[in-house]
Structure 1
Amino acid sequence: MTLADRAAAPDRLDLPAFDGLTWRPLERADTPGVHALVAAIEDADAQPFRTSLAEIGDEFDDPGRDPAADTVAAVDGEGRFVAYGGVATRPGDASMVRVFLHGGVLPERRGEGLGRAAVAWMTGRARQVLAASDRDLPGRILTYLEYGGPAAERRLYERAGFGTLRYYATLRRDLADPIPVVDLPDGLRLEPWAPALDEAVRLAHNDAFRDHWGSEPQSPEVWAHGRTLFAPQWSAVVVDPAPDPALVAGLDAATRAHVAAGGTLVAGYQLAIRAEQDWAVQGYTSGYTDALGVRRAYRGRHLAPALLAAAMRTFAADGMQYAALDVDTENPTGAYGLYSSLGYEKTVGSRMLAIEL
């Protein structure tokens, strides 16, 4: 059976209908209104983070989303957004076609069926996207929910056929505690992230995450998207300036071509974000490691702890109180144990809910 058959997509996807509300696709000009809605949801649910206006605007540039076809929102008679939903794919997915769902309902309008309508629309649209894919691969429709979010939201997705597939934990590390010194092996060099290294970092990321559950290669377009909060001054890479030809020969074709053309070989990386809008609700300042990876050929040589220790020093030098990151609790590389050994402790977490096709 093909993915199109398994997707069982609706031939027609009508917009929800509720008295007093207009449902329509989102436009870039809606960014402030959607931001106000998202802020109200995060405040009501006491989430330990806040989404910035710039992050909302960034969604309209998502390479895996057509806002006119892949978003929907409900607007009341006063022009206020009371519910929204959207789906997005990830161009470059190689072994599974994924469609990500995200939406929400204004807290005072919960219980009216708006959430159920939004989830039904998003799921139907996701099935259409999968059915239209020219890649006959396994499919997954997924969303992420915070542990502390309303139980009713999780039940909405479960009633729509979603099940929990994975759990993730947010960890933090007090930077007032002594930061370890971790030396790199001879021949490897720690360098600040720079634009000229970004393609080499993308290639390293795709190699590092090949054996991670649920991970797919990132295309250049996906890799470059969503950098509103990126903190290059807090980010670093480990480069191998004179890689062994035998080692290079065992790497993926894209990396071999990159090195053959004179490109730098990045063995590991730590990319950070500066989420200042989170600090007030967290109750502390923090530097957040958004991505950490080590090429498989370089594992076991202490690159990850060296990168994290360097990040801690950079965060602390900039006045941050904590270092933070997220981790898949079943990460196959032993990342959870590594973070614990460096003093990271769990604060909150999230779960992935999905429909597998």
Structure 2
Amino acid sequence: MTTEPIAVRADPPVHLDLPPAHLELTWRPLHAGDAGQLHGLMTVVAEADGSPARMSRAMVDEIFAEPWRDMQRDSLGGFDGGGALRAFAIVAVRPGDVRTVRAFLQGGVHPAWRGRGIGRAVLAWLEGRGRQKLAESGKELPARLAVFVDEHARDNRRLYAAAGFSPIRWYTEMRRDLADPLPDVSVDGVRIEPWRPELDEAVRLAHNEAFADHWGSEPRAPEEWKHGPHFMPEWTFVALAGDEVVGYVLSGRYDDDFPVVGYSFGYSELLGVRRAWRGRGIAVALLADAMAAYRASGMAYAMLGVDTANPSGAHGLYERLGYRAVHGEVLYSVEI
């Protein structure tokens, strides 16, 4: 139970200092004209850190286009003397949080500029701005500074641990070979149909209900429920009982990742079944249709991510369906 107001608990800095001049970078907010450089830097950072995922240019452009962000105040770029972007920092607090207000921190430093203290300075700015954002939210809720780190990225993990962040949740990326036989399942009284735009608001509401008992999940406000540039409507399915949406699987295609991991895949972004409808095989039916669609499009694998402590037992379900772990992420946080 929180007792102090969020503006006190968050302990926001009154003045947010830029990283010091001796780091030899010039700092300013990022804007849409920096998208190309930001994409390039994110790619180089991901390669250096051995990450299996890549931010596409379209995903970077989307960061600048999202209406609920304030990049003028919530981003920072460090530029060298030639105008090249060498470090970045972005803070995001989503508008839909109603149980825990979360400040997500994202940053990176070009590998050629590491070892100079820039990473620590970027993280200090991220934490300071994150605390300010939490205080500015005015939401009298538990609060969290949060950052996702690849499980194998030991240097990054040490950086966050040294700054007082703690690992509190583990997430696993899993894949399934689509050459294996797919499950054949039907559910009495429920039909699986392709996604269509007129169902989308009902899917959003079903998602908010389905994930209400999932740790760390918050409702998606309408302005957040915008399908990204890699959304695949033809790989996305909805479970209906009459006209009622009872479950869904939303899928994406990430071609930039294919050469990195060495295979093609369809990604099940969100899979949910409303609580009253669980235990009937709806999730399996949805995944089966999605996997069939991936395979029909020539994909080699189906992939998804799961919270290892998911209360619905999803991790075990996916293993029984032939999914196997291939990569892990850790959520580091400061709980406020």
Task: For 2:54, give the aligned amino acid.
Answer: R
Match of 1:352 in 2: 331
Task: For 2:198, give the aligned amino acid.
Answer: A
Mapped partners of 1:44, 1:9: distance in 2: 33
- The one of 79, 83, 89 aligned to 2:83: 79
Task: Describe the superposition over 1:50-93 as per-residue Cα deviations: whole angstroms up to 9, x where unpaired.
Answer: 11011111111234420000000100011111100110011111
1:97-136 alignment to 2 at 5 Å?
Answer: 97-136=101-140
- The one of 315, 320, 339 aligned to 2:299: 320
1:134-283 alignment to 2 at 5 Å?
Answer: 134-149=138-153, 151-185=154-188, 187-224=189-226, 227-241=228-242, 264-283=243-262
Mapped partners of 1:230, 1:339: distance in 2: 22
Mapped partners of 2:98, 2:49: distance in 1: 36
Q: Give the share of equivalent positions with the same residue, in percent.
A: 49
Mapped partners of 1:200, 1:131: distance in 2: 32
The reply to whether residue 4 of structure 1 matches residue 7 of structure 2 is yes
Deviates more, 1:35-44 or 1:320-329: 35-44
Task: Describe the superposition over 1:130-185 as per-residue Cα deviations: whole angstroms up to 9, x where unpaired.
Answer: 11122111110100001132x22112211221100100000000011111101122
Task: Describe the superposition over 1:286-327 as per-residue Cα deviations: whole angstroms up to 9, x where unpaired.
Answer: 000000000011111110000011111111111110000000
Unaligned segments of structure 1, at least 5 residues: 242-263
- The one of 59, 78, 95 aligned to 1:91: 95
Mapped partners of 1:351, 1:63: distance in 2: 28
Task: For 1:196, give the aligned amino acid.
Answer: E
Q: How many residues align?
A: 332
Mapped partners of 1:238, 1:144: distance in 2: 31
Structure 1 residue 108, shift from structure 2 partner: 1.1
SS of alignment partner, residue 16 of structure 2 = coil
Mapped partners of 1:327, 1:18: distance in 2: 42
Mapped partners of 1:120, 1:64: distance in 2: 23
SS of alignment partner, residue 305 of structure 1 = helix
Mapped partners of 2:136, 2:45: distance in 1: 33
Mapped partners of 1:238, 1:209: distance in 2: 16
Residues 68 and 223 of structure 2 are in contact (CA less than 8 Å); yes or no, is this contact kept in structure 1?
no
Residues 63 and 91 of structure 1 are in contact (CA less than 8 Å); yes or no, is this contact kept in structure 2?
no
Q: What is the TM-score with the length of structure 1 in the denominator?
A: 0.91
Mapped partners of 2:236, 2:89: distance in 1: 32
- The one of 271, 289, 297 aligned to 2:268: 289
Residues 171 and 346 of structure 1 are in contact (CA less than 8 Å); yes or no, is this contact kept in structure 2?
yes
- The one of 255, 279, 295 aligned to 1:300: 279
Mapped partners of 2:30, 2:13: distance in 1: 21
SS of alignment partner, residue 223 of structure 1 = coil
Match of 1:250 in 2: none
Residues 179 and 309 of structure 1 are in contact (CA less than 8 Å); yes or no, is this contact kept in structure 2?
yes
Unaligned segments of structure 2, at least 5 residues: none
Residues 210 and 216 of structure 1 are in contact (CA less than 8 Å); yes or no, is this contact kept in structure 2?
yes
Mapped partners of 1:214, 1:82: distance in 2: 32
1:22-61 alignment to 2 at 5 Å?
Answer: 22-61=26-65
CA RMSD after TM alignment: 1.0
